[in-house]
Amino acid sequence: MEVPGAVFVVVKDGKVLLQKGYGTTEVKTGKPVDPEKTVFRIASVSKVFAATAVMQLAEQGKIDLRQDVQQYMGGVKLRNDTGSPLTMEHLLTHTTGFDVVDPPPGDIVTADLSAVTPLKDYVIKTMSAVVRQPGEAYKYDNFASMLQGYIVEQVSGMPFHQYVRDHIFKPLGMENSQFVMTPDMKANLAVGHTATGEKLPPYNTVPTDMPQGSMMTTGSDMAKFMLAQLNEGKLGEARILRGSTVQDMQSVHTAIHPKVPTMTYGFELPYGRASEPYVISKGGDMPGFTSWMWLIPEHKVGGFIVYNKNSGLRTELFNAFMDRYFPSDRKPVYLNPDKEQLARFEGTYRDLRIAYLTARSR
């Protein structure tokens, strides 16, 4: 499964075991990928950083995870007629009950690099309605993660990207990471490529400061973040979270079934893997870029892959990594239900995230 260029990072026990660039930043130029300098878009892995910012403010008592978030919305009115408050915990676990959870088609990026779309303006423009009781059902939710960043902005009194820069990037020494495009980011940004290998033109995100997906970073910077997450929130003399907060952030808080744990605060649990060892992860996709970070807290192991093309390489790599270093001898157990047992599942099902996707079982 070919990609133009990639960075692969592995950390364990407080050390970087592997930090390597592969291929090129752009097919036509052949410029090699440098894990220290080459910047990639990490797309939805950005959500973990938004959640980290929320947890910092929760530590300080400025955000209560279980109180109505309306008090943190800076005058923007939530549309919630369910009778149940929407809390930060619901935003963190994607159990908001929002009707629409994704941006309008074509709204994710813009080719106009001079355009600036403020986060607050975009929140107001795309405000979704809470139509399902918060906490009732899990649904992957880009809007929820965007609101996390917006609330960080309102509570801290500074733009979201500036808060993350000052309170996460700078303490950890992540010198080549940003949520908004800067001249340095632009100069070192890998070029995204289409599925057929053609160069994608440069773009900006909408909103410009996008908590759910606009982060750009290097492999070496991501190593620092993973090391802090695996060391109770500390890297060297810098601490971004208390140990108890990190443990809470990495623990399961949502499960779509008792046997299918789904989300922590910011991380997801990869489907299709045995429950041992415990793995938390976050993947991301933007035009021309694909990423995935995974952590195995009990072994203090972390992995990160990013590349400048959209493909399924990350899944193959993750599975190969787990099979090699954490093999499982568990075998699948297949059920053999009779018609009477299956009858209770008859009906029509609609995907909560993509309304037009329906399935009928009978």
Tens digits of residue pLDDT in 285-295? 999 999 999 99
Residue 99 clears pLDDT 90, i.e. is over it: yes
DSSP class of residue 33 equals P
Q: How confident is the model at residue 350 (pLDDT cuts 50, 70, 90)?
A: confident
- Identify whether the C-beta of residue 43 lies closer than 8 Å to the C-beta of residue 289: yes
- Identify whether the C-beta of residue 309 lies closer than 8 Å to the C-beta of residue 199: no
Comparing 102-111, 200-209, 326-335, the range with the smallest average pLDDT is 326-335
DSSP class of residue 169 equals I
CA 161 – CA 334 distance, rounded (Å) = 48
CA 145 – CA 156 distance, rounded (Å) = 17
Check the CA dihedral 195-197-198-200 and report its sign: positive
CA 59 – CA 244 distance, rounded (Å) = 10
Q: Which two tokens stand for residue 67?
A: 């109180």
pLDDT at 274: 56
| Domains of the chain, CATH where assigned | 5-325 (3.40.710.10)
Residue 259 clears pLDDT 90, i.e. is over it: no
Q: What percent of the chain has pLDDT over 90?
A: 83
Burial of 353 (0-12, 13-18, 19+ CB in 10 A): middle
Q: What is the pLDDT of residues 304-328, one digit of tens each?
A: 999 999 999 999 999 999 999 999 8
| Residue 259: strand pairing partners | none
Q: What is the pLDDT of residues 177-195, one digit of tens each?
A: 999 999 999 999 999 999 8
The secondary structure of 304-320, three-state, reads: EEEECECCCHHHHHHHH
3-state percent breakdown (helix, strand, coil) of the chain, nearest 5: 30, 25, 45
Residue 86 clears pLDDT 70, i.e. is over it: yes
What torsion, rounded to 10 degrees, do the Cα atoms 294, 251, 56, 99 define? 90
Q: What is the mean pLDDT of residues 73-89?
A: 95
Q: What is the mean pLDDT of residues 129-139?
A: 96
What phi and psi values does residue 139 have, to the nearest 5 degrees?
A: -155, 120
Q: Identify the CA nearest to 187 among candidates 53, 314, 26, 331.
A: 26
Residue 112 clears pLDDT 80, i.e. is over it: yes
| Residue 18: strand pairing partners | 10
Q: What is the pLDDT of residues 155-178, one digit of tens each?
A: 999 999 999 999 999 999 999 999
pTM for the model stands at 0.95
Q: What percent of the chain has pLDDT over 70?
A: 98
pLDDT at 1: 61
- Identify whether the C-beta of residue 151 lies closer than 8 Å to the C-beta of residue 92: no
Residue 105 clears pLDDT 90, i.e. is over it: no
pLDDT at 353: 83
The CA-atom distances, in angstroms, between 360 and each of 77, 173, 347 are 37, 52, 6
Tell the residue number behind the tokens 């190593």, with chain if given.
223
| Residue 284: strand pairing partners | 291
